[in-house]
Amino acid sequence: MILECPNCGAKFDLPPTALGATGRRVRCSACRHEWFATPPEEAFALPPPLPAEPPPQPAPRQAAPMRAAVPPAQPAPSTRGTRPGLQIPLEDRSRPSGGGRIGLAIGWFLFIVVAAIVVGGYFLRAPIVCRVPEARAVYDYVRIPLPSGIEGLTITSAPATRETRDGRALLIVEGIINNASGCTRILPQLRGAMILDNRETQNWLFDATAGRVSPGDAVPFRTEVPDPGNAQTVTITLAPAG
């Protein structure tokens, strides 16, 4: 009986009874393919009684050499993706890999850098605000206390003058704001007040001619108050923040 491999086409010469009456699984010795082979219909007939020692049958001549098909004793394990005899070592996950250690080191490094920035930003907040006055808004937002920011600022004003413009009385106050500190200062608003008999009768807020003053520099200011009344004294101060 000739049996042909459905995968590679190799042919094998088998005795008619090799597959039994119902067939069995066989494996191609050329390509290792397995399939369920059934005998031809004429092989189902029972053979005549065999002698005690049957003479060997001569192998029939074939156009191509035949290879014997060896039925497997048990299902062969799948060899897809591997080579015969190739051993694949299992990964030991009990120890952290090199990439894990590198990632952990980077995480610690970033943590230390962030902690250093936070701690340094807290203890060095005064020098930072001195160099970058806009940083004060960040510290105010997170409610970290800071100096008032007006240290070293002094106000020098000329005597107030009165004049009439378009039939209306005006009080004019001019002066300068000096910065004697070593830091650039953002100028707050100025507060003017009129005093009569040691009592404040009127007050107002106004801005200087610039929003900041450099170390050792000065910024002028000017304010005009209509209808000043009978005020005896005018005071100009830096308005508190907020």
Domain boundary among 141, 173, 195: 141
Domain boundary among 90, 116, 141: 141
Would 148 be classed as within a structural domain?
Answer: no
Residue pair 179/187 in contact by the 8 Å Cβ criterion? no
Residues 69 and 115 in one domain: no
Residues 160 and 134 in one domain: no
- First-to-last CA distance in the chain? 106
Question: What pLDDT is stored for residue 88 in this prediction?
Answer: 39
- Residue 81 pLDDT > 50, yes or no? no
Domain boundary among 141, 161, 195: 141
Phi first, then psi: give them for residue 43, nearest 5 degrees: -80, -15
Would 88 be classed as within a structural domain?
Answer: no
Nearest to 179 by CA among 146, 213, 136: 213
Range of weakest confidence among 58-72, 87-101, 138-152: 87-101
Task: Write out pLDDT tens, residues 144-157.
Answer: 887 778 889 999 98
Task: Write out pLDDT tens, residues 155-176.
Answer: 998 788 888 988 899 999 999 9
Task: Write out pLDDT tens, residues 108-131.
Answer: 888 898 888 888 877 777 778 777
DSSP string, 39-65: --GGGGSPPPPPPSSPPPPPPPP-SS-
Q: Which residues of 213-229 are buried (b: 16+ CB within 10 A; e: fewer)?
A: beeeebbebebebeebe
Residues 41 and 116 in one domain: no
Would 84 be classed as within a structural domain?
Answer: no
How many domains are there within the chain?
3
Residues 157 and 230 in one domain: yes
- Residue 139 pLDDT > 50, yes or no? yes
Q: How confident is the model at residue 75 (pLDDT cuts 50, 70, 90)?
A: low
- Tell if the pTM clears 0.85, that is, is over it: no
Nearest to 211 by CA among 180, 177, 240: 177
Residues 69 and 104 in one domain: no
Question: What pLDDT is stored for residue 192 in this prediction?
Answer: 93
Domain that holds residue 224: 153-238
Query: What CATH number is attached to the domain comprising 68?
Result: 2.20.28
Task: Write out pLDDT tens, residues 198-229.
Answer: 899 999 999 999 999 999 999 999 999 998 88
Q: How confident is the model at residue 64 (pLDDT cuts 50, 70, 90)?
A: low
Query: What CATH number is attached to the domain comprising 201?
Result: 2.60.40
- Between residues 178 and 21, the one the model is more confident about: 178
Would 110 be classed as within a structural domain?
Answer: yes
Residues 6+ positions from 133 with CB-CB distance below 8 Å: 149, 183, 184, 185, 186, 212
